[in-house]
Structures are given as structure tokens and as C-alpha cells.
């Protein structure tokens, strides 16, 4: 571990919280016990994602008189991605560690993540090899999703859904999060040139409260996966994907039209009653639309990169 940090602290621990009032005090105690005496210092950033129980009141009490504890409160539930994004924007550490607030992630694994960071990796992802979750509703969908994400992004990890991860600040500051994209940060980090590794971490059974996530998120994750794939491959040149589709479609349209024309000339077949004629017209129109979409995408991408990015969250209160 480094001896000093140019930003004032070496480590920032970012924890999104939603209705976890029974867990926050014990979680903070475990983190403080684990990181006590850490060279370079640390801070803990709790993001209350619009909790409706006593979570914020307990965090407010825990942060009193402790300048290394920061609490950000959302006025409503924006979701885990927005909460992590807020934590990243406010983190001062050279290294940022993220973890869940339900006590299932073990704070004692944080030093192991930091050791891997010190070995030169930019992103260290936790792997809940012995996961303590429901087999049908959590484990099976997770296994399928991890295989699919690894295949599409070419970043082979066993556990994309594990929140316990460590990032170098120099990498995370270049990544903007939307939708449910927090689980794809390693893939987005690869796009930014990050070196990535994975280590086994302890996973504990939930003792208090209930899980906020289930199989209902699958469709959103799949849609975000398509978005990530597009950004990884074509984020700066959307004309490549839409233009290719357009050109192929136009080519098919012309070929089909020549077939119809040949049938009319050599077989004396009626063109107006030939379904291939309508298919060729449809293919030509679709091709033109794809090309136009690609050109509009080029304009939008340039606007996106050149304009000021707006945050996806609104902080209602801030402590420390």
C-alpha cells in the first residue's frame, strides 16, 4: 500500500445504500476495524439512494464527529448505477473500492483488493465463488448473464454482478454511467485501456432485511449490454454499424430488383404481382434509413463528446 496520496486520502470506499438501516452500523465498524492504520488514509462514502426507512438517520448519527465519513442522500430512488456514479464523483482517493451495504460483501477482503492494485492492475473484480444466494432466482440468471457478458465484451470474468471491486481513480474518472451499466464497468474500463484481474472474495448470507434485486432486472441488463457493446465497438463511429447495414440492405434491394427485372424480360412474368418487387423496394428504403441513422448518429456522437455532460442524479443533502 502506498504511503501517501496526492488527493489527501489513498482509499475511498463507496457504498450505495437503500433501506439497510439494521446493517449500516455493523458495516461501518467492520470497515473501520479493517482499515485502521491504513497508510495514506481512507474515507467512506455512503450514498442513501432514497431510503424510506431509518437508514439516513442512522448514517447521520454515525457520521457525526467523523470527517472521514461522507453521506450523500438522494431525494428519491435513482438506482444503484446513479448511486455509484455519485460516489465516484465525490471520491478523493487514488483507489476507489465499491461494495454493497447489506453485509454480504466482506470488508476484510478490501486489503486483498488493494494488494492486487499495488501489483499494477487498474481494476480488481471480486468473484463470489461460494455465493450465498437463492439458486434459482439469483445464481442461475447470474451464471447465464456472466457468460453472455464475457462473450460479448471479451472481458472474461466469473462475476460481473459482484459490487466488491477496486478501481484506480485515473481509470474510473473517464467512465460515465447510465441505466444499469455499473455491472459493465470492467468492460468499459477495458475500452479506456485498463488492466483487469479477478480475485476470489468471501460472500456472506444476508442477516437483516431482504434483497432489493431479482430476476426482473434481466431485460434491462440485456438492453444495457447491447448499449455497452455498441459503445465499445462503435461509440466514435456509429456510421460503421448503421452504414454497413444500410449498404447491405441497398445491395440486397438492387439484386432482388434485377431478379424481378430478369423474370419480366425472360419469363414474361408480371412485375406488379411479384412479391420480390415489394421486397426489393422495402430493402432499398430500409437501407436508406439505416444510412441516414448512421449519419444522425455521427452528429449525436460529436455533440455528446463535445458538450458538457449532465449528472444522472440529484443530491438532496450532504454531510461532511
CA atoms within 13 A on the CB side of 164: 27
Strands 11-17 and 42-48: parallel
Contacts of 156 (CB under 8 A, 6+ apart): 150
Task: Quick: pLDDT tens for 249-286.
Answer: 999 999 999 988 888 888 778 777 788 888 999 999 99
Task: Quick: pLDDT tens for 217-233.
Answer: 666 667 777 777 777 66
Contact present, 267 and 274 (Cβ < 8 Å): no
Residue 72's φ and ψ, nearest 5 degrees, are: -110, 135
166: which strand partners?
A: 97, 124
Predicted confidence at residue 6, as pLDDT, reads 44
Task: Quick: pLDDT tens for 156-190.
Answer: 888 888 899 999 998 888 787 877 788 888 988 88
Cα Rg, the chain, nearest whole Å: 25
Task: Quick: pLDDT tens for 199-221.
Answer: 999 988 888 767 655 555 666 66
CA atoms within 13 A on the CB side of 215: 11
More confident residue, 99 or 306: 99
Q: Does residue 121 carry a pLDDT above 50?
A: yes
168: which strand partners?
A: 95
Amino acid at each position: 500500500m502506498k504511503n501517501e496520496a496526492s488527493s489527501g486520502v489513498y482509499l475511498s470506499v463507496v457504498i450505495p445504500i437503500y433501506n439497510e438501516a439494521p446493517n449500516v452500523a455493523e458495516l461501518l465498524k467492520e470497515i473501520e476495524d479493517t482499515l485502521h492504520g491504513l497508510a495514506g488514509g481512507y474515507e467512506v462514502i455512503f450514498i442513501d439512494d432514497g431510503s424510506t426507512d431509518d437508514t439516513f438517520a442512522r448514517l447521520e448519527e454515525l457520521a457525526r464527529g467523523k470527517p472521514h465519513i461522507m453521506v450523500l442522500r438522494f431525494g428519491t430512488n435513482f438506482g444503484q448505477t446513479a448511486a455509484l456514479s455519485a460516489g465516484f464523483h465525490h471520491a478523493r482517493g487514488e483507489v476507489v473500492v465499491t461494495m454493497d451495504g447489506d453485509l454480504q460483501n466482506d470488508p476484510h477482503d478490501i486489503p486483498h483488493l488493494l494488494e492486487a492494485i499495488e501489483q499494477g492492475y487498474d481494476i480488481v473484480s471480486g468473484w463470489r465463488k461460494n455465493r450465498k444466494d437463492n439458486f434459482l432466482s439469483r445464481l442461475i440468471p447470474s451464471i447465464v448473464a456472466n457468460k453472455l457478458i464475457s462473450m460479448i465484451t471479451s472481458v472474461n470474468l466469473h462475476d460481473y454482478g459482484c459490487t466488491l471491486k477496486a478501481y484506480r481513480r485515473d481509470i474510473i474518472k473517464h467512465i460515465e454511467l447510465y441505466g444499469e451499466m455499473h455491472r459493465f464497468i470492467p468492460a468499459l474500463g477495458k475500452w479506456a485501456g485498463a488492466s483487469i484481474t479477478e480475485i476470489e472474495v468471501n460472500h456472506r448470507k444476508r442477516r437483516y432485511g431482504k434483497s432489493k434485486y431479482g430476476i426482473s432486472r434481466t431485460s434491462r441488463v440485456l438492453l444495457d449490454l447491447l448499449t455497452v457493446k455498441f459503445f465499445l465497438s462503435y461509440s466514435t463511429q456509429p456510421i460503421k454499424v448503421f452504414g454497413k447495414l444500410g449498404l447491405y440492405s441497398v445491395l440486397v434491394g438492387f439484386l432482388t430488383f434485377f431478379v424481378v427485372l430478369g423474370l419480366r424480360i425472360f419469363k414474361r412474368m408480371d412485375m406488379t404481382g411479384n412479391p420480390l418487387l415489394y421486397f426489393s423496394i422495402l430493402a432499398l428504403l430500409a437501407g436508406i434509413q439505416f444510412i441516414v441513422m448512421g449519419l444522425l448518429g455521427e452528429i449525436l456522437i460529436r455533440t455528446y463528446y463535445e458538450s458538457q455532460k449532465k449528472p444522472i442524479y440529484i443530491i438532496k443533502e450532504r454531510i461532511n
